[in-house]
Amino acid sequence: MNITKQKPFEEILESLANDTNIYIVGCGECATQTQTGGEEQVADIQARLQEAGKTIVATDVAHSTCHELDMKRIFRQNKAAAATADAFLVLSCGGGVQSVREATSKHVVPGADSLFVGNTKRNMVFEEKCSLCGECVLDEYGAICPVTRCAKGILNGPCGGTNMGKCEVDSEKDCAWVLIYNQLKSEDKLDKFMKIHSPKRWNAVERPGRINGRTADEEKGAA
Ligand code: SF4
Ligand code: SF4
């Protein structure tokens, strides 16, 4: 899921300095899980903005704010409120913010910073394990990603700074290469550990990414 953290309230207020009527949008998926843009956080920011003199014309926690058609549908349903809004404050990842961008031509303000795509360890504990490099090489590394989990992202490790299984960059974190070694050893595949890997194809994924999985007939139907 997309891990976000809410922006400081003063920063949000500054972005909304020239706007009076605010429409707040939250997200029922990732931002709810990370407690940055769920029902509770939307209600909290609503109260704080009202206290700061703003008028809240509507609040909505979309099922998934990154679903562009759904955002357009929500604003169609709340046409009157959307029409009176000076600005839309979006408590979600940057994808959700830009989904709202597609659904209105008015001022759109991000209420959160997007950090990484994270795994959920337990409630409110998230860890980055994949950085979406476009060409997954996990099979070479015992399904532990050096690109993401090694602080230096090295494909032929360890770097030499590993200390008692911890990373020299952050001693609170495990050295990914110790984890890789232990895993490959347990699978009796240390030959993989000795292999020299060539540089990754960093252009394996183009930015901005786009996939159109629709058939030609489906595209024709949509036209
Ligand atoms: S190699 Fe790492 S960053 Fe790339 S897709 Fe696999 S897990 Fe993600
Ligand atoms: S100590 Fe391990 S995880 Fe940290 S940078 Fe070196 S190889 Fe990577």
Give the Å distance between the CA of 169 and the centre of ligand 2: 7
Give the Å distance between the CA of 160 and the centre of ligand 1: 23
CATH 3.40.50.2300 in the chain, residue ranges: 2-115
Q: CA–CA distance from 55 to each of 7, 21, 49, 79, 96 (Å)?
A: 20, 5, 8, 17, 23
Whether 62 contacts 97, CB under 8 Å: no
Share of the chain above pLDDT 70, in %: 99
Q: Nearest ligand to the C-alpha of residue 128?
A: 1
Peptide bond into 208 cis (omega under 30): yes
Radius of gyration of the chain measured on its C-alpha atoms:
22
Strand partners, 113: 5
Q: Please give the average per-residue pLDDT across 177-205, as a whole number.
A: 95
Q: Please give the average per-residue pLDDT across 18-32, as a whole number.
A: 98
- In three-state secondary structure terms, 70 is helix
Q: Please give the average per-residue pLDDT across 150-170, as a whole number.
A: 97
Query: What tokens does 83 get?
Result: 């029409």
Nearest residue to 3 (alpha-carbon basis) of 50, 37, 46:
37
Residue 222 has pLDDT above 80, yes or no: no
Per-residue pLDDT of 33-58, as tens digits, reads 999 999 999 999 999 999 999 999 99
Q: Please give the average per-residue pLDDT across 155-164, as a whole number.
A: 96
Q: Please give the average per-residue pLDDT across 176-180, as a whole number.
A: 98
What architecture is the 2-115 domain classified under in CATH?
3-Layer(aba) Sandwich (3.40)
Please give all residues whose beta carbon lies within 6 A of any atom in ligand 2, as ranges. Answer: 150-152, 154, 157-159, 161-162, 167-169, 175-177
Residue 223 has pLDDT above 70, yes or no: no
Model confidence, pTM: 0.93
Q: How many CB atoms lie within 10 A of CB 175?
A: 25
